[in-house]
Amino acid sequence: MFIIKYKKKICSFFLFILLLVNSNYFNNFLLSNSLFKPKIFISFSPYGNTENIIINFINKASKEILLVMYNFTDKKIANSLLKAVYRGVNVKIILDGNVLRNKQKIKKYLRNTNIKFNYLYRNMHNKFIIIDNNIVGTGSYNYTFNAQNNNAENIIFLEYFPKIVNKYKKEFYRLWYESV
């Protein structure tokens, strides 16, 4: 009798936890917890350390990176994406197909990532990254040498803004399905 009551209590507890995890109450709890308070990081180039900030966020990824970029030539950022792939992170990239001169070279360099090119627009000028469904980075900053060293650029990272992340993720998949 004691064992049956004990099993019922354990099952009830786990059912309660499962319902809690899938509820808005749990999301609100996480956001009210000091570890999960929304955070904002801003960087400006050429005088900021923008490239390293981007790499540090990529290095935090444990599950998924979704990246949309107009132009991409930065080898350090590309290497950090490849390291993420080797850690088991699912990396999906969409690049503007009209601006890149050597697509095969980029495909070869970013091997083991899921990479697509978008040709639908005169300029697919989006520049954003979504990391582990928790972080969005966006701004004028292309992942290029010039963005880091020669241009006046900006990037903002928003961490623990679920509504914003969801909007960017929706846009990512809209672009993903229209790209080749």
74 is catalytic: no
pTM of the predicted structure, to 2 decimals: 0.80
Task: Write down the catalytic residue from 5, 125, 167, 170.
Answer: 125
Residues 47-65: tens digit of each pLDDT: 989 999 999 999 999 999 9
Q: What angle do CA 145, 40, 46 make, to 5 degrees?
A: 25
125 is catalytic: yes
Q: Distance between CA atoms of 18 and 155, rounded to whole angstroms?
A: 37
* pLDDT score of 36: 78
127 is catalytic: yes
Task: Write down the catalytic residue from 132, 163, 167, 169.
Answer: 132
* pLDDT score of 19: 47
DSSP 110: T
Nearest to 141 by CA among 59, 91, 65, 70: 70
Evaluate the CA torsion angle 98, 104, 108, 109 in order and state its sign. Answer: negative
* pLDDT score of 18: 47
Residues 148-179: tens digit of each pLDDT: 999 999 999 999 999 999 999 999 999 999 99
Q: Are 67 and 137 contacting, i.e. CB atoms less than 8 angstroms apart?
A: no
* pLDDT score of 98: 85
Who's near 23: CB < 8 A, 6+ residues apart? none
- Give the C-alpha distances (Å, rounded to integers) separating 29 from 18, 50, 142, 146, 167: 15, 32, 35, 42, 22
* pLDDT score of 157: 98
Stretches in the chain below the pLDDT threshold 70: 1-35, 100-105
